[in-house]
Amino acid sequence: MAIDLYFAPTPNGWKITIMLEECGLPYRIVPVNLGAGDQFTPEFLRISPNNRMPALVDHDAPGGELSIFESGAILLYLAEKSGKFLPRNQRDRCSVYQWLFWQVGGLGPMAGQLSHFVNYAPGGALAHEYSHTRYAGEYDRLFAVMERSLSERECLAGEYSIADMASFPWVLPYKRFGQSMDAYPNVRRWFDTLKTRPALQRGVEVGKDKVTDPAKISEAHRKRMFEQSGASVLAEAEKAKRDA
C-alpha cells in the first residue's frame, strides 16, 4: 500500500480518511492508541514531531518516501497529489486556502477545547463554568461565520473542497457539545447535504468501533492526553535520539 495513515478516530483523523475516500486513493490505517501513548513513541516522533496524529507516509512520493504531519498540510498534499478538491484557478484556490486555515486555526481548536471541558475536564463542564462558556460561545460564533458564507454559496469556498472536509468532522459532534443549528439554516443545509456523500460516510466510519468513551478513560490515559509539558516533549525527543 502506497499510503500509510497514522490515525485515531477523532475529527482530525476523519478529515484525512474522508479525503482519501473521496479521492479513491488506496491507504493503510496504522492505529495510534492515544490512551496507550503511541503518539509519544520514538517511531511516531520521527514522522510527527508534534506528537499528534494524523500523520501520513507516502511510500510512492516523487523523490522517495515522504512523511507529513498536521491535518491541513496532509489535505493540501493529497489535493495536489490527486488533482482533486483544490481549484486550479488562483482566486478560487485562495478561497479554499482561507477556509482551510480558518478551520485549522479556529473551528478545530475551539471545538477541541469545548470538547475537553464537556467530555474530559475533572468535574465536568459545571465545575469549569467560565471555560465552558468561553469555548461554547466561540463555537457558536464560528457557526455564525459559516452561516454568513454558506448563505451565499453551496460550500464554504464555493464548490466542495478540502475546506469542507476539514470542517465537517468538527461540526459532526455539535449536539454532544450542546450546540443548536436552529439559528443557522445554511449550516444545516450544508451539513445535511455533505452527510449524503458516500465517500464522506465511509471516511467518518473508519475506526468508529475504537472511539474512546470519555467516561471510561483511566487516570493514566488522562495524564498522557492532557498533562504533557515542554519538559516531557524534550525528554521524548532525547529518547528518540538515543533509540535511533
Question: Is it true that the peptide bond before 198 is cis, omega within 30 degrees of 0?
Answer: no
- Complete domains list, the chain, with CATH: 3-84+216-243 (3.40.30.10), 90-202 (1.20.1050.10)
Task: Give the pLDDT confidence of 63-106 residue by residue, as tens digits.
Answer: 999 999 999 999 999 999 999 999 999 999 999 999 999 999 99
Looking at residue 219, its pLDDT comes to: 79
Q: How does residue 166 score in pLDDT terms, banded at 50, 70 and 90?
A: very high
pLDDT for residue 244 is more than 70: no
Amino acid code (one letter) for 135: Y
| Structure-model confidence comparison of residues 211 and 18, the more confident one | 18
Exposed / middle / buried, residue 108 (Cβ in 10 Å: 0-12, 13-18, 19+): buried
- Asked if 127 and 121 count as a contact pair (C-beta separation under 8 A), the reply is yes
pLDDT for residue 57 is more than 80: yes
| Structure-model confidence comparison of residues 237 and 52, the more confident one | 52
CA–CA distance from 117 to each of 127, 158, 228 (Å)? 9, 33, 17
* pTM confidence score: 0.94
- Asked if 7 and 13 count as a contact pair (C-beta separation under 8 A), the reply is yes
The Cα–Cα gap between 147 and 205 comes to 26
pLDDT for residue 205 is more than 90: yes
* Mean per-residue pLDDT of the chain: 93
Looking at residue 234, its pLDDT comes to: 82
Contacts of 121 (CB under 8 A, 6+ apart): 127, 128, 131
Looking at residue 37, its pLDDT comes to: 84
Residue 242 CB: number of other CB atoms within 10 A? 8
Min mean pLDDT across 14-23, 95-104, 111-120, 235-244 is at: 235-244
Strand bridging mode 55-58 / 27-31 = unpaired
